[in-house]
Amino acid sequence: MLFSHARRWVYPLSVDGWHQRMRRWTFLALHLVLFVTPWIMIGGHPALLFDLEARRLYAFGSIFTAADTLLLLLLLLFLAFALFFFTSLYGRLWCGYGCPQTVFLDAWIRPLERWIEGDRARRQQRDLGPWTFDKVRRKAAKWTLFALVAVITSMAFMSFFAGARELWTGRAGPVEYALVGIFAAAWFLDFVWFREQFCNYVCPYARFQSALTDEDTLIISYDTARGEPRGGLGAREEGRCIACNKCVAVCPQGIDIRDGFQLECVACARCVDACGDVMGRLGHESLVRYTTLAETQGRRTHWIRPRTVVYAGLLTGIAAAWIGLLATRTPFEATVSRAPGSLFTVDADGEVRNTYLLSITNNDPRQGELPFVVRVDGIEGAEVTAQEIRLAPTESRTVPLVIRVRNRTDLPRTVPIKVRVSSPRSEMVLDATFKTGGSIVSPGS
Ligand code: SF4
Ligand code: SF4
């Protein structure tokens, strides 16, 4: 376990091949998401910004607030089930192609390490040797670059919370920079020392793999039937494993895929490319490949099975609910409450007056300034006085709303009313009550 015996340091050999080229494309796409998205502006706001202080989410031209909690919960639920669905079909492809830990290690850390300290054998040799000036110089250069990568990636991540323009120009708050420091320290520790141990001992996703996968899930596997017995005379000609150990040397998790499926495997396909290279030179196919347990046992793989059908059904239901909620969502917030300390007042002209506080927030960043109109239903002959309300995107205002009604005897003490707040594109209906006071309404009541 992690602290029960000495760490066996892994020195993965560099490797290239079709799968590594595919991984580099996904790495590029993910880097674009991380480094470019926070700089894109839509309607005067970042394309994606979690403004925790104002409790707002800016997402591709829309603003979501605490009133949209259900929408956000449904989105999280959708993402969770999408991960279950994807994992049940494709196993740990996320780990090998999309996880930030894998992406940063393979895109930055290992290439920098190789550039400064050389490939596997030289690194192993140098680490076993004494601390010379050359070793100190190389380690210092490597760790400095690792620290730089840790800070840059942490800044990029925090840009989604503090705003890229503010964060990268020194205009964010001390809390934001403190968080960058904490994230950068964690990443630095991971780059310098923790690495594959994170997948093996900490990552929760790796822990519940066995509950999400079955024998029809895509895995990376060694072809025992074709590869064994490994080595010996004739192995090269017959396409058996030549025991070159290259698949082990390239593995960043330090495992031997020929021992069978292991939870430590992050499906990075480095062993597939390594063996593809070795066996390709001998005129044979790779002995390590993407397959399923069912296939390795000579059965057909079933992509449609009870668990994938259930996940697909749940995803469809959640997506439909989410789209329905989004379509009926009002792009502004409004609340009405009785003005403090006032139930009702009888004016000099005999009219009964109730005063409220109406708060409106414009959450539509695409329409510019919007006018809001207030009407009241549910009480006949009501005279409504509200200030003209025009709000710029994200602007909030609280205004007094005064409702006056002629003194009549046919009204109960409390009349339920509807306050309708309309913008040019949508309307929100708020429930409130109008207090008449018994003595002025129905003598003797
Ligand atoms: S066994 Fe192969 S796919 Fe799994 S982690 Fe090692 S190199 Fe990557
Ligand atoms: S790379 Fe292929 S041939 Fe070499 S040890 Fe691994 S499985 Fe055998």
Which residue puts its alpha carbon closest to atom 8 of ligand 1?
Answer: 268
The residue whose CA is least distant from atom 2 of ligand 2 is 275
| CA 47 / ligand 1 centre spacing (Å) | 36
Question: How far apart are the C-alpha atoms of 424 and 426, rounded to whole Å?
Answer: 6
Query: Which residues is 63 bridged to in the sheet?
Result: 58
Ligand 2 atom nearest to 245, measured from its CA: 5
Q: What is the pLDDT of residue 5?
A: 59
Ligand (nearest to CA of 96): 1
Tell me how far CA of residue 237 lies from CA of 223, 226, 279, 314, in angstroms.
17, 12, 10, 51
Q: Which residues line ligand 2 (CB under 6 A)?
A: 222, 227, 241-247, 258, 274-275, 278-279, 287-288
CB 257 near ligand 1, within 6 Å: yes
On whether the CB atoms of residues 261 and 255 are closer than 8 A, the answer is no
Which amino acid does the sequence have at 27?
F
What pLDDT score does 387 carry? Answer: 83
- Closest C-alpha residue for ligand 1 atom 4: 265
Q: How far is the CA of 243 from the centre of ligand 2 (A)?
A: 5
The CA distance from 14 to 203, in Å, is: 25
- Judged by its nearest atom, the ligand closest to the C-alpha of residue 20 is 1
Spacing, Cα 256 to ligand 2 middle (Å): 10
Whether the CB of 266 sits within 6 Å of ligand 1: yes
pLDDT at 43: 80
Which ligand sits nearest to residue 278's alpha carbon?
Answer: 2
Cα–Cα distances in angstroms (integers) from residue 148 to residues 34, 152, 231, 371, in the given order? 16, 6, 45, 49
3-state secondary structure (DSSP) of residue 281 = helix
The amino acid that residue 162 corresponds to is: A
In terms of C-beta density within 10 A (0-12 exposed, 13-18 middle, 19 or more buried), how is residue 250 classed? buried
CB 269 near ligand 1, within 6 Å = yes
Instruction: Note whether 423 and 389 are within 8 A (CB).
Output: no
CA distances from 366 to 41, 70, 90, 361, 362 (A): 12, 23, 39, 14, 11
Residue 92 contacts residue 99 (beta carbons within 8 Å): no
In 320-382, which ranges are E strands?
Answer: 332-338, 345-346, 352-362, 370-377
Which bound ligand lies closest to the C-alpha atom of 266? 1
Return the residue whose CA atom lies nearest to atom 3 of ligand 2: 241
Provide the residue-wise pLDDT of the chain in tens; the chain has 445 residues.
444 457 889 999 999 999 999 999 999 999 999 999 999 998 888 999 999 998 899 999 888 988 899 999 999 999 999 999 999 999 999 999 999 999 999 999 999 999 999 999 999 999 999 999 999 999 999 999 999 999 999 999 999 999 999 999 999 999 999 999 999 999 999 999 999 999 999 999 888 888 899 999 999 999 999 999 999 889 999 999 999 999 999 999 999 999 998 989 999 999 999 999 999 999 999 999 999 999 999 999 999 999 999 999 999 999 999 999 998 888 899 999 999 987 899 888 889 999 999 999 998 877 788 999 999 999 888 899 988 899 998 889 999 999 999 877 778 889 999 999 999 888 999 999 999 876 444 433 3
Residues forming a β-bridge with 290: 220
Question: Is 296:219 a contact under the CB 8 Å cutoff?
Answer: no
| Centre of ligand 1 from the C-alpha of residue 163, in Å | 37
Helix (H, G, I), strand (E, B) or coil at 66: helix
Nearest ligand to the CA of 281 is: 2
From the CB of 75, is ligand 1 less than 6 Å away? no
- In terms of DSSP bridges, do strands 352-362 and 396-405 run parallel, antiparallel, or are they unpaired? antiparallel
Q: Tell me the best of 242, 284, 285 to mutate to test the pocket of ligand 2, counting ligand atoms within 8 Å of each CB and taking the most.
A: 242
**Burial class of residue 283 (count of CB atoms within 10 Å of its CB; 0-12, 13-18, 19+):** exposed
Distance 272 CA to ligand 1 centre (A): 8
